[in-house]
Amino acid sequence: MSAVMRTLVRVRRRLRLMATLRGLGEAALLAAGMLLGWTALHRLGVLAGGSASAREILGHRGALICAGLLLASGMLRRAFARLPLRLVAHRIDVSHGLADRLRTALELSATAPGSGLVSCALADAARAAAAVAPSRTAPLRWPPYLRWTGLLVSAAVLLALLPRSAPASPSRRVPEPPRLAVAAELLEPDREAVRELARRATAAGDAENAQVASELERLIARLERGELSRKEFFDRLAALEQRARDAEAELEALRQRLRKAGHELSQHRLTQKTGQALGQDRLAAAGQELSNLGRALEQRSLPLDDKTERELGRTLERAARETGAPPPSPTPPPSPPPGAQRSESPRAQQEKAPASPSPEQEGPRRLTRETAPQTSQPGERRADGAARPEQQLQHLQRNLGSAGSQLSQGRGGSGGGQGQAAQSLRQAGETLRQMQDQFDRAERNAAARSAMSDLKELARRQGTNQQAPEPQPGPQQAQAGGRSGQDPAGERPEKDQEADPTGSPQAQAGLGGTPSGQEGQTPRPQPGQAGQQGQAGQENHGAQGSGDRAARAGTSPSPGRAGTGQGENKAQSQAERLRDFFRRAQGQEKTGDEEPSPSPLSGLPAPPSAPGQKTPGPGGEQDAPGADSGQPGTPGPNTTPTGDNRPGDAHDPHLLGDPTRIAAHHVTQKLQGAQGSGPSRSATILGASERGFATTAYRRVYGDYNAITEEVMSKERVPPGYRYYIKRYFQLIKPRE
Amino acid sequence: MAAHPGTTASNELTPERASEQVAAFRRDVGRLIAEIGRVIVGHEDIVEGVVMALLAGGHILLEGVPGLGKTLLVRTLAEALDLRFSRIQFTPDLMPADIVGTNVITEDEHGHKRFEFQRGPIFAHLVLADEVNRATPKTQSALLEAMQEHSVTVAKQTYPLTEPFFVLATQNPLEMEGTYPLPEAQLDRFFCKLKVGFPSRAALHEIMDRTTRAEGVHATPVMSHERVLELRHLVRQVPVARSIQDYALRLLEATHPAAAPQGQKKGAASGVSLVQKYVRYGSSPRGAQAMLLGAKVRAVLDGRYAVASDDIHRVARPALRHRLILNFEGEAEGVDPDALIEAIIEATPEME
């Protein structure tokens, strides 16, 4: 027995060693995790505070001490764990296949008296113990979790070595807004208009409008390439519009001042023509008159007495004051487009806006600053050397005032004074002639604004189409394909729809648009087919001008386009009805904002019926539940569960005689089957045994019940739909022959 | 199980003598199994189980469809052991007296009449109770009393049966019409229940070769009934460690749905949950006795001097399968008791 005990002790020692290594691995994993957490807390600054001694304790030295303690405790716990010898014996028996020889020997030596077989068993165990190899029972293994421990330690070291940086705020990825894409064909008219504007502005030396035209052209190009989102596009367009609007407002103020000045000048006979010309916004003519007056003064060809000279001087001074006076209440700005606050002037926005403008307001302002850097400072010289209207007005005021003061102070009689007045008047005349260019610029400005308005409308409509839901397969896809105009091969199909959104009577009658209307019903139209049809309609019926211009201008559509639009409307209507039918066929309630169901005779195509279903025969009892006959079960497409036509209430329209009416309150219920495999076989048998087994033959029971139902159906007025179900039910449960 | 009379072996065994006896045990039993194998093709596990029950002093219930060689096995065993063999075909009209015997009036040479006990077929060393479930419970109980008590009582007179007394009962699991299934209490008296399966194709070829030629194969006696009793005595001397015995008892406890033994693995498919779901009543202590005795035979057959837990594993199924009384769910779901026992073994750790 001593041999067995020696083996057991030896193996137990080995087992303790391996347990110690295992404890080391487990403790190392814990320590590594602790180190990582410690380092993370340090990096986050949680353990950074406190006194110096506390920092020392909570620092890396403290972490290392804790890790060491963890390692030691883990190893010691495993090394000194309870390990009884019988367990060691069992492990040896299992590992060496000794059939419990050692365990039995250990127990028999302690309890049983030494009989012959026991002695044999002990001797057998001793022989087996001599061949025991401890390494087989407790093979040398690396401590567990070394890989994880290494990973954790590496992570802790990396975390400790990472340079400190400001905690980055969690960046939330803002989804990129969808790009606005407009077909090149749609943009071509606007591009042409902008080019024309640029040509005219360049020819007239109107640098500002030329710049606006250039900006617009770039905007159109980017829009065509799909580089702009909807918001970006409208922001940039609003900035350009703001520039044009500011320029118009400035010109309007200038016009008002000049008219007032003209009114003053028309009070004197010598400047009457000048004043009238100013009142009629003929600045060139007024300038010419002023120059002539100045030239006459200079040549002393005018019979001027002192009184007339002073009156002329005062008139000129009043006119100068009017030109320098702040503009009277400006004309009310044109009503802004719907939903566009961008139409307000930057000054008004500045007055209205709070101290810190919102980002939405900041965007157009920034764009305004970017696109119109020259307009940021009043009185600043333009790039081409032309003066701003305000400066020109100041020039005019200064010259008129100078001439007026010279003449009103009676110094005109002196040669020098009259010469100075004449020079001032000539300069004023020149200034007025230059200002005529500003007035000519207003026309180009209006053209630019018109082009911008067209672009805006086009983009708005395009954005509406893009926001529409994804086209569904089948008829909806055909409808969407005809409406969106996004088909690369298609040629502006949206024009066809825009041509007559409401549908003319002719179009509604489907006279002109039958082919295109059928196009909408095609389950899968060929790419661009609908658009080509629209173009064909334009060509055949002589659409005037470009299609989109006519459509946007609301001109009367050609019959071809109207027909196509009606066809798409029809397809859309049918698709809506089909969707509604399927929705209600699936038991979904109709929402309150939906359109009411069309009448049963509205030409709705019959929904796909189940195999075996038949439509009611004329004058007879129907053989199958029709889709729209209100049979029990699923409501038909033309009935709603909440309406009068509840399941079982409807009647066969071909029924002869008075319809029956069952005085019952119907409740539409949707029952769900129980999930799962059902009760077990034992539960089924047990339940059947508790209820009692059948004692009557099924055939007999069936015959009895079938006879009763036949009798009831022949005597009583059972609705045709119910008759079908009763017959079908008994047909299905009929016993086999 | 009661100690059997007629034990001839000495209770005191020296290690050398014990070692010799174990070696002789293995040699004799090996010869017996080989002799049976000359006649019985395949069914090695059945043969081993029968021999194990014979040496452990128990009775065997063989279950299998007709034609698989059950009767031949028993007859061959009787031939190989040189034992008195009797076969009783159980039928519904079989009476207890037909089994145990009856008193008949006899007349001696002086003309005096007296009752004389006429011994029935039960008075044999080896009794084959063929299709035991076809007899009425009354007749079955007569047999089962003899199995348990190793004696027969007729007219207040008890007649001991000769040792070794070994009953092999067979029953057909298919034809259940007109049968009387053995009650649980009587099933418990069988040491183990062996299921005779269908032989493999190679075994079938061998059976065809042996049974369709002119000369038949018969076993020759290789062991006397005295030697059987010696071997039985030796088996009972095999020591069992307390932890091994405890393991057998924990397995026994685990068959009971009411008692949830500690230390068992629990889970949806564990032995505990299956037993609680499908078992109405577990094994009686006779099950543990059968396991330990069978394990002892196995240990000696393997040349060991003590029982191991593997021996318990190997005998657990035949020793316990007929002692698990399934509840209604178990019967209705067709639960196999062997699967339950397997789950119990898996859920019960060898070391507590």
Whole-angstrom CA distances from B42 to A260, B38, B153, B209, B265 are 131, 10, 39, 13, 37
What is the reported pLDDT for A267? Answer: 82
What is the reported pLDDT for B28? Answer: 92
Instruction: Locate A64 and state its tokens.
Output: 């290392």
Instruction: Locate A668 and state its tokens.
Output: 């539409």
Spatial distance between the Cα atoms of A238 and A209, rounded to a whole number of angstroms: 15
Instruction: Say yes or no for a CB contact (<8 Å) between A682 and B22.
Output: no
Q: Return the SS3 of A695.
A: coil
Torsion angle (degrees, nearest 10) of CA A586, A589, A595, A601: 50
Instruction: Say yes or no for a CB contact (<8 Å) between A104 and B308.
Output: yes
Whole-angstrom CA distances from A365 to A128, A362, A448, A544 are 96, 5, 20, 40
What is the reported pLDDT for A167? Answer: 53
Query: For tokens 């000519």, what's the residue?
Result: A440
What is the reported pLDDT for A151? Answer: 92
- Between B308, B328, B332, which is nearest A100 by CB? B308
Contacts of B278 in chain A (CB under 8 A): none
Spatial distance between the Cα atoms of B143 and B148, rounded to a whole number of angstroms: 9
Q: What is the mean pLDDT of each run of 10 residues along chain B (352 residues)?
A: 40 76 91 90 89 92 86 86 88 90 87 88 90 88 85 87 90 78 85 90 86 80 89 91 92 85 58 84 92 94 92 93 88 87 90 80
Residues in A lying within 8 Å of B, measured between beta carbons = 86-87, 90, 93, 99-101, 103-105, 107-108, 111-112, 115-121, 123-124, 680-682, 685-686
What is the reported pLDDT for A493? Answer: 40
- For B277-336, the DSSP string reads HHEEE---HHHHHHHHHHHHHHHHHTT-SS--HHHHHHHHHHHHTTT-EE-HHHHHTT--
Question: Could you give the angle at which helices B242-254 and B309-320 cross, rounded to 10 degrees?
Answer: 30
Whole-angstrom CA distances from A57 to A52, A68, A157 are 9, 14, 19
Whole-angstrom distance between the N-terminal and C-terminal Cα of chain A? 83
Whole-angstrom CA distances from A439 to A258, A376, A390 are 12, 21, 13
- CA-nearest residue to B235 within chain A is A117
- Between A100, A116, A685, which is nearest B18 by CB? A116
Cβ count within 10 A of residue A5: 17
Contacts of A112 in chain B (CB under 8 A): 239
Contacts of B302 in chain A (CB under 8 A): 99
Which candidate, B186, B157, B3, places its Cα nearest to that of B90? B186
What is the reported pLDDT for A138? Answer: 86
Spatial distance between the Cα atoms of A613 and A585, rounded to a whole number of angstroms: 15
pTM, whole model, 2 decimals? 0.51
Measured between CB atoms, does B350 come within 8 Å of chain A?
Answer: yes
Instruction: Say yes or no for a CB contact (<8 Å) between A124 and B310.
Output: no
Which residues have CB under 8 Å from B131's CB, separation 6+? B89, B90, B91, B170, B171, B172
- Between A100, A123, A682, which is nearest B328 by CB? A682
Amino acid (1-letter code) at residue A43 = R
Spatial distance between the Cα atoms of A313 and A302, rounded to a whole number of angstroms: 14
Measured between CB atoms, does B153 come within 8 Å of chain A?
Answer: no
- For A283-349, the DSSP string reads HHHHHHHHHHHHHHHHHT-S---HHHHHHHHHHHHHHHHHHHSPP-SPPPPPPPPTT-GGGS-HHHH
- Between A100, A117, A685, which is nearest B309 by CB? A100
What is the reported pLDDT for B285? Answer: 93
Instruction: Say yes or no for a CB contact (<8 Å) between A87 and B22.
Output: no
Give how far A727 is from chain B: nearest CA, Å.
Answer: 38
Which residues in chain A land under pLDDT 50? 327-386, 468-567, 589-643
Query: For tokens 């279903």, what's the residue?
Result: A613
Spatial distance between the Cα atoms of B102 and B154, rounded to a whole number of angstroms: 7
**How many A/B residue pairs have CB atoms within 8 Å?**
92
**Largest CA-CA distance found in chain A, in angstroms, rounded:** 167
Instruction: Say yes or no for a CB contact (<8 Å) between B241 and A120.
Output: no
Instruction: Say yes or no for a CB contact (<8 Å) between A99 and B351.
Output: no
Contacts of A110 in chain B (CB under 8 A): none
What is the reported pLDDT for A531? Answer: 39
Instruction: Say yes or no for a CB contact (<8 Å) between A100 and B241.
Output: yes
Measured between CB atoms, does B36 come within 8 Å of chain A?
Answer: no
- Between B15, B302, B332, which is nearest A116 by CB? B15
Model confidence pLDDT, tens digit, residues A524-577:
444 434 334 434 334 444 334 343 443 444 444 444 344 444 445 555 666 666
Contacts of A681 in chain B (CB under 8 A): 332-333
What is the reported pLDDT for A466? Answer: 53
Strands B166-171 and B60-63, how do they pair? parallel
In angstroms and rounded to an integer, the radius of gyration of the C-alpha atoms of chain A is 49
Instruction: Locate A685 and state its tokens.
Output: 């048998």
Instruction: Say yes or no for a CB contact (<8 Å) between A101 and B350.
Output: no
- CA-nearest residue to A106 within chain B is B241
Give how far A61 is from chain B: nearest CA, Å.
Answer: 45
Q: Which of residues 244-273 of B touch A (CB under 8 A)?
A: 244
- Between A86, A108, A111, which is nearest B306 by CB? A108
Measured between CB atoms, does B351 come within 8 Å of chain A?
Answer: yes
Best B305, B333, B352 residue to mutate vs chain A (most A CBs within 10 Å)? B305
Instruction: Say yes or no for a CB contact (<8 Å) between A116 and B328.
Output: no
